[in-house]
Amino acid sequence: MSDEFLIRGQHAEQAGDAEAAETLYRRALDGGEPHAGYFLGELLIELGRPEEAITLLEAAAGDGDAHLPLGNARWDLDDLDGAEEQFRLAADLGQPAGLHNLGLLLHDRDRVDEAVPLLRESVAAGHTEPRLLAEALADLGAQLQDEDRLDEAEAVLREALEGGATEAYVYLSSVLARLGEDEEADRVLRAGADLGVPSAELQLGNVLSDDDPASSDAEALYRRAIEHGEVGGHNNLGVLLWDAGRLDEAEAELRVAIGLGDEIAQQNLDGLLAERGHTNGRT
């Protein structure tokens, strides 16, 4: 009878009736159905109740399939070491989802050099979207650049771009510039900006405003970056407008940036107000 409750619970869950599914899974569990704890634990994670799920899934630890949802529950509770342990156990059992989740967790923990091989394996198994690997490669490329491993960074970032990681435009442009490939660096950055990549629009605006502090092209790029969600564009646009003598507009942009938590914008606004002879109520 308990297995009947389990099957009915699965049907209820598939039909979107989580309340009925939970009731049926609990009846199956009470009746001794060995897999009911696993299904109930997974359902409780979906319902945002990871603490309850962990108790059930730990009891089902003999079932190798429990490692993955147990890792998810621990991740939801910010127990990252516990999540990593469970995902590794799942991966060691040959579960592609274990590789996938472990790769994502390590990427999230800024351990991209460890994440990339796992995500590669998961992509090869058909479990991970190539875009997620590309995003990890972009971050790895940025890390390699910070470590001055520029040739390695260039190769990784080119692969990231081929995989569709748009942040790689800015990183690759920076690496190429440091390698003395200024013309290609400019082409890569402009290609990103032409595609509407906010970080590329922002960075190209910075390059143009360095040459001409009141550049109308830079202004247009900053405004596009803002439209595309790049909050840093408000501060940079404010500074450009300040340099162009459009002080009211500059002040307005800097105040928007401050409202979004930009501390540098506060310093810039203080400088602008001092130039205008305002103290903004401060002594």
DSSP 210-244: HH-TT-HHHHHHHHHHHHTT-THHHHHHHHHHHHT
pLDDT of residue 101 exceeding 60, the answer is yes
The mean predicted confidence, pLDDT, of the chain is 91
What are the phi and psi torsion angles at 223 (to 5°)?
-65, -40
Among residues 164, 168, 165, 162, which one has the least CA distance to residue 145? 168
Is pTM beyond 0.95? Reply is no
pLDDT at 34: 74
| Reported confidence tier of residue 1, pLDDT bands at 50, 70, 90 | low
Q: Is the dihedral of CA 157, 160, 164, 166 positive or negative?
A: negative
| Reported confidence tier of residue 57, pLDDT bands at 50, 70, 90 | confident
| Region 174-194 average pLDDT | 98
Residue 222: HSE in the Cβ half-sphere, 13 Å Cα cutoff: 25
Kind plus residue range of the DSSP H or E element containing 25: helix 18-30
Domain definitions of the chain by residue range: 197-283
| Reported confidence tier of residue 278, pLDDT bands at 50, 70, 90 | low
pLDDT of residue 280 exceeding 80, the answer is no
Residue type, 127: H
Q: How many residues does the chain have?
A: 283
Q: How large is the angle between the packed helices 198-211 and 216-227, nearest 10 degrees?
A: 160
**CATH no. of 197-283:** 1.25.40.10
| Reported confidence tier of residue 61, pLDDT bands at 50, 70, 90 | low
Which position has the higher pLDDT, 276 or 101?
A: 101
Virtual CA dihedral for 69, 75, 79, 85, nearest 10 degrees?
A: 50
How confident is the model over 214-246, as pLDDT tens digits? Answer: 899 999 999 999 999 999 999 999 999 999 999
